[in-house]
Chains A and B, each alone.
Chain A
Amino acid sequence: MALPAHVEPLERFWYYAFRVICALIFIFLIGPILVIIPLSFNAIPYFSFTPEMLSFDPAGYSTKWYKDFFTNPNWQGGVRNSFIIAFFATILSASLGTLAALGLSRPEMPFQKTFMALLISPMIVPLIISAAGMYFFYSDIGLASTHLGVIIAHAALGTPFVVITVTATLTGFDHSLTRAAASLGAPPHTVFFKVIMPLILPGIISGGLFAFITSFDEVVVVLFVGSYEQRTIPWQMFSGIREQISPTILAVATILVMISICLLATVELLRRRSERLRGLSPA
């Protein structure tokens, strides 16, 4: 969309106006996330820039909120629970989701569309309805207020992501490859690990990362199904925002943003690699 040399003034005006508008929207998108980073180093417990901060006076900055985060047992318990729950929920949803995607992407799969719609539904049903339903039902079967209950709930919410990404890596998958391997005498498990697995691994990993971040960020279901023993970082943030708004929350938010950046980079790399492997896009 480079601007040719011979355009009219009005068009030239619109060309620049459009870019200014886009820049403003980008600021809207990214600004709030960036603003909390300096605020998390505020020396006083408020959510605004002090004159000392604006004049870059070191006295206006402090890392005490990070220290609070790393020493406070409430937050540390949250960190531990978040990782445990997200880790096991990811394992569960990645394995179940991958198996299902393998079945769903076979041309012979019966009722393919119906089952797909059903398996995607945890992504679509409003969270409050899922959470309330799980709260009542998990209470009845003794899973409420247990780590297992939260892990299962999060795995259910995470599977659609795995199903979608793994199915996507399998579109355009040439099924004659598996037949070729089988006809050459490879037993089914060899076919799976030597032929299918290398092709869908990027899909599994990025689907797994989606499932991980879904669990890691999820708060509504933890609030209902879990209790203090299962508190996660978002649980702690939610009750923190409603109670005592200390900049520790901003420090936590900053750390979470860093984690998001790492995950985002990983997923992007995987996506590019997968496309290259399947020859969908030129390197």
Chain B
Amino acid sequence: MKDLLKKGTALSAVVAGCVLAFSATTTTTASADEACGADVTMTYVSWGGAYSASQQKAYHDPWMAKCPGIKIVNDDSASEGLAKLRAQVEAGNVTWDLVDMEAAQAVTACEEGLAEEIDPDTHLAPAPDGTPASKDFFDGFFVSECYIPQIVYSTTFGYRTDAFGDKKLSSIADVFDLEAFPGKRALEKRPDGNLEWALIADGVPASDVYDVLETEEGVARAFNKLATIKDQVIWWTKGAQPPQLLADGEVVIASAYNGRLFSAIVEKNQPIAMMWQWQVFAIDGWVIPKGTKNKDQVLKYLRFATDTQRLADQAKYISYGPARKSSAPLVGKHADLGIDMGPHMPTAPENAKETLLYNTDWWADNRESFDERFNAWLAK
């Protein structure tokens, strides 16, 4: 017992030591600044991985360098962003300061009163030539009164270059062709995107997919097409998964966000290639949670982080297109590798020959009913 007690005391000493060591917080000494707002630690919610890293380097780090009193912490739970935001707002206990959201979810958040409304021309910086923000962002990017767009990204396909001999994946139909291109696929575990692709692969013209999805026969047709590859599909839920699944050889074809594929192919030299046909364009941006305690600081940050230069800077780290027209000419080379980022952008003419524009309004209205049916279909 004596030994044990000794061990016990030693253990508790170690534990106490750890607790003390860890709880010694770093104190910041900078004073409040007119341009930065009062000193505070803010929690920003985003998607993790290569994408959060690009935001960190292009937006957060420069802002924190400018405002030593501001500390920005990343929370990678954007994939559950809407749910957690709703729980926080309804409980009146908002701990988040800024949330990165897809456009369709942001529409819902705004409609349910979960997000602060913003006015582009008062809150966001004008272009260097003086064009007001509302005109500088691409048309239709302000999908709701609460949305601050950042990037345009695309969901497209990557495949392993060593999987099919000399053959290259060249069309969406090939993704559904198990004979010519055998092996596992990874698709995102959600109806949007997949249903459109299934219809296009089944011969529906891209311009008609949303009309076809309005009808019961059209929906059945899409599901039936997906069913042809269902038992070969691993469903992913986080953006970092598909490049990983490809790199590990767990799948041979995967749908993925183009920026994640870029970082696997170009930065990590994985034997992966892209297939751009019918990439689905979508917008990503910020919403400010209703009732955030640091609205002043967040707005000051946003004015900086969504200006022309910062949006162009993000494209140095990940191949997503800036949401401002004025940023486009400033997009240059990759920060570390020095390669030209232009050809890797989803909007590059070479890549954007056939593209599908994600119908934000349509999915904002229909996502829930489709989710239910999609999950039922998946589980069987």
The residues in B between 217 and 243 inclusive whose CB is less than 8 angstroms from any CB of A are 237-241
Cα–Cα distance between A135 and B80 once the two chains are bound (Å): 14
Distance of A235 from chain B, by nearest CB (Å): 10
Cα–Cα distance between A244 and B268 once the two chains are bound (Å): 14
Distance of B262 from chain A, by nearest CB (Å): 16
Stretch touching chain A among B83-91, B122-130, B338-346 = B83-91
Cα–Cα distance between A242 and B245 once the two chains are bound (Å): 11
A-B contact pairs, 29 of them (CB 8 A): A47-B248, A80-B18, A80-B22, A83-B22, A84-B22, A135-B87, A136-B87, A139-B87, A144-B87, A144-B95, A145-B93, A227-B95, A227-B96, A228-B74, A229-B43, A229-B73, A239-B48, A242-B238, A243-B48, A243-B238, A243-B239, A243-B240, A243-B244, A244-B240, A245-B248, A266-B4, A266-B7, A270-B4, A273-B1
Cα–Cα distance between A229 and B44 once the two chains are bound (Å): 11
Cα–Cα distance between A189 and B281 once the two chains are bound (Å): 72
Of the candidates A79, A139, A140, the one having the most CB atoms from chain B within 10 angstroms of its own CB is A139
Chain B interface, number of residues (Cβ within 8 angstroms): 33
**B76 in the interface, Cβ–Cβ < 8 Å?**
yes
The residues in A between 220 and 276 inclusive whose CB is less than 8 angstroms from any CB of B are 227-229, 239, 242-245, 266, 269-270, 273
Chain B residues lying within 8 Å of A104, measured Cβ to Cβ, are none
Cα–Cα distance between A157 and B255 once the two chains are bound (Å): 40
Distance of B33 from chain A, by nearest CB (Å): 24
**B13 in the interface, Cβ–Cβ < 8 Å?**
no
CB-CB under 8 A for A269 and B15, given A139-B87, A242-B238? no
Distance of B4 from chain A, by nearest CB (Å): 6
Number of A-B contacts (CB under 8 A): 76
A144 touches B15 (CB 8 A): no
Cα–Cα distance between A79 and B19 once the two chains are bound (Å): 10
Identify the closest chain A residue to B88 (Cβ): A139
The residues in A between 112 and 151 inclusive whose CB is less than 8 angstroms from any CB of B are 135-136, 139-142, 144-145
Identify the closest chain A residue to B45 (Cβ): A228
**Residues of chain B at the chain A interface (Cβ within 8 Å):** 1, 4, 7-8, 15, 18-19, 22-23, 43, 48-49, 73-77, 84, 87-88, 90-93, 95-96, 237-241, 244, 248
CB-CB under 8 A for A228 and B248, given A83-B19, A139-B91? no
CB-CB under 8 A for A142 and B76, given A83-B15, A239-B48, A273-B4? no
Contact of B76 among A47, A228, A269 (CB under 8 A): A228
Contact of A269 among B4, B239, B240 (CB under 8 A): B4
A227 touches B8 (CB 8 A): no
Chain B residues lying within 8 Å of A244, measured Cβ to Cβ, are 49, 240, 244
| 5 further A-B pairs in the complex, CB-CB below 8 A; given A83-B15, A242-B238, A273-B1 | A144-B93, A227-B95, A228-B75, A239-B76, A243-B49
Contact of B244 among A145, A205, A245, A269 (CB under 8 A): A245
Chain A residues lying within 8 Å of B4, measured Cβ to Cβ, are 266, 269-270, 273
